[in-house]
Structure 1
Amino acid sequence: MPKKIIILCYRKIIDDSNANPWDKFVHEDSFLEFKMQSQLYNQELKYNTFAELLINVPGADKLHFLVSAAVTGYLRQLNGIIPDVLDNLGRRFLTFENFKFEIINSDINDIERHKIAINFFSKPMVWHDTVDNQLLVSLEQTMEGEEIFTNLFQLQPFISIHSIKDLS
């Protein structure tokens, strides 16, 4: 199998049902930021939901970016490691440099309807092989004949190959 450089995307969805403390803080703080930032687009309080704002108020799609400021500190706490994705030894190994924050749904009057996604984009890695439903990857390229340290991990929901570059 020819080697390929891949970048993975992991889409982490956070809503009121998440039990992890980090997820809860991100959920609560992004909701408060949404309530505050949406006032700029909803001064007459005509709309309650994010969807209503998107449909009726030009420029409301900027709320994705404006609300993302509330989560950047939490993302720094991850020290560049994508959460929830483990290799077959139970270790977090997937690193990221970029992310995209997205408001899926929200209602200024109901935190339980607030739902967001953080799309993490991995650093480039070498995809060596596929073993059953697992990818064998390494985080660095090496010279021919050198030992390569790899990670084997199972494909799971909300992970996809974002981009691919053939090395052959």
Structure 2
Amino acid sequence: MSRKVITLCYRKIIDATNISTWDKFVHEDSFAEFKMQAQFYNQEERFTTFAEIVLNVPEAEKLHFLVSAAITGYLRQLNGIIPDVLDNLGRRFLTFENFKFELINSDINNLEKHKVAINFFSKPLVWHDTIDNLLLVSQFKESNEDEVFTNLFQIQPFVSIHAIKNID
């Protein structure tokens, strides 16, 4: 029997309006790193925003990667669990190995305008069924066990199926 194996992507957007302590630390530290790294691409101090720097200095696209170094410690604190996505029992259950950090907007003179996204990519899941508006999934394992533990959850905003594969 064919199984569908999916990878989910959760896009967590962090800006000045976030209230959790973890989000605030990511916001502040990524802003400080952006200001420091942006100096290399803006040595004449002609630009103040991320958009202006990238538009005028194409190599500045590297800022996404360079600024991500400031938040890797915070990602380790998550112990491989994607934040904010809960199953129908209210538990965090999605695990991740990969992420992609992205600068959405920033202004070197204004922390309030700094906005980033962290795209978390789940470990592979087996998609067993759809029940009403809920997905029934389990962790993907190579072996076909008789019994598997499942999670039932509703796809929420900023969560999507990133990849799908049929396995025989």
TM-score using structure 1 length: 0.96
**Which one-letter code corresponds to 2:144 in the other structure?**
M
Matched, 1:143 2:144: yes
Runs of 4+ in 1 over 6 A off after TM superposition: none
Aligned counterpart, 1:18: 18
Identity of aligned residues (%): 74
Aligned 1:3-42 pairs, distance under 5 A: 3-42=3-42
SS of the residue corresponding to residue 147 of structure 2 reads coil
Specify whether residues 129 and 2 from structure 1 end up closer, same or farther in structure 2 by C-alpha distance, changes over 3 A only.
farther
How many residue pairs align between the two structures? Answer: 167
Conserved? CA contact 2:97–2:123, under 8 Å = yes
Alignment match, 2:115: 115
How far off is 1:148 after superposition? 1.2
Aligned-partner residue type, residue 15 of structure 2:
D
Give the deviation of 1:75 after TM superposition: 0.1
In the alignment, is residue 62 of structure 1 matched against residue 62 of structure 2? yes
| Whole-angstrom distance in 2 between the partners of 1:23 and 1:166 | 36
Tell me the residue number matched to 2:76.
76
Higher strand share: 2
| Alignment check: 8 A CA contact 1:2 1:128 kept | no
Q: Note the C-alpha offset of 1:2.
A: 4.7
Paired amino acid for 1:130: T
Q: Quick check: 2:5–2:140 contact (8 Å CA) kept in 1?
A: no
TM-score with structure 2 setting the length = 0.96
Q: CA deviation at 1:167?
A: 1.9
Aligned-residue Cα RMSD (Å) equals 1.2
Task: State the shift of 1:143 in Å.
Answer: 2.0
Partners of 2:22 and 2:64 lie apart in 1 by 20
Kindly provide the amino acid, as one letter, of the partner of residue 74 in structure 2. Answer: Y
CA contact (8 A) 1:137 1:152 kept: yes
Q: Structure 1 stretches of 5 or more lacking a match? A: none
Alpha-carbon separation, structure 2, partners of 1:82 and 1:106: 25
